[in-house]
Chain A
């Protein structure tokens, strides 16, 4: 069965610190997609990144980077030199390809507080 675990409920850091948000997933499928979404205090959900199961290459986008490791079933998200604007709830999600993507499972989310 699909499962996404975000063990960190809340993280608090001071501006300019680096922070890593953990995501561990479970799936029986060999083809699947992983996602991160951001939900700022305004409430909307913003898509950040997608990774498919065949591509373990890490990705960097500005201050954001993602580390995908199939061996540990993890898809961790690191923010470098955090800023107050990074304060948000971050969700990790998993879609198995055989379901056509409509059975996306979301983790419970990690609330990140970045203090000035």
Chain B
């Protein structure tokens, strides 16, 4: 039982390049999330999904797109990377069963945009 996994763990991009971050969970959770973590700002929600085929914007969605074609996977895309997107990205998942809402996080992806 791997929980939540993220690939890659590290990436360096040049301004204007594109990339996709992959998140996978094996807990059969309905909800999945993408956050970014910047120094002194805690975690900010980029996009989230409440089920397969559905996505919604979070607090800081600009410059990112997401897709959830399968229940266990949630992809985060950067179409044209900018230095302001240098951050640590965390994926998380949670279950709606029991209404308890705690989220389980992946190990993070450290992205640097030069």
Most chain A beta-carbon neighbours within 10 Å: one of B31, B33, B101, B102: B101
Query: How extensive is the interface on chain B, given as a class?
Result: 20 to 34
Q: Known interface pairs A101-B94, A104-B103. Does A91 touch B108 (Cβ–Cβ under 8 Å)? A: no
Contact B42 A106 (CB under 8 A): yes
Most chain B beta-carbon neighbours within 10 Å: one of A47, A102, A107, A108: A102
Task: Identify B102's interface contact among A44, A47, A97, A107, CB under 8 A.
Answer: A47
**Across the interface, which residues of B come within 8 angstroms of A91, CB to CB?**
42-43
Across the two chains, which residue of chain A brings its CB closest to B95?
A: A101
What is the total number of residues of chain A having a CB less than 8 Å from a CB of chain B? 22
* A50 vs chain B, min Cβ distance (A): 5
A33 within 8 A of B: yes
B105 within 8 A of A: yes
Contact A102 B43 (CB under 8 A): no
B84 within 8 A of A: no
Contact A44 B31 (CB under 8 A): no
Contact B102 A45 (CB under 8 A): no
Contact A9 B40 (CB under 8 A): yes
- CB within 8 Å of B: which A14-41 residues: 33, 35, 37
* B77 vs chain A, min Cβ distance (A): 20
* A52 vs chain B, min Cβ distance (A): 8
Across the two chains, which residue of chain B brings its CB closest to A97?
A: B99
Q: Mark A86-110, 1 if CB is under 8 A from B, else 0.
A: 0000010001010011111011110
Contact A106 B43 (CB under 8 A): yes
Using a CB–CB cutoff of 8 Å, the interface residues on chain B facing chain A are 31, 33, 40-45, 48, 50, 56, 88, 90, 92, 94, 96, 99-105, 107-108
Using a CB–CB cutoff of 8 Å, the interface residues on chain A facing chain B are 9, 33, 35, 37, 43-47, 50, 91, 95, 97, 100-104, 106-109
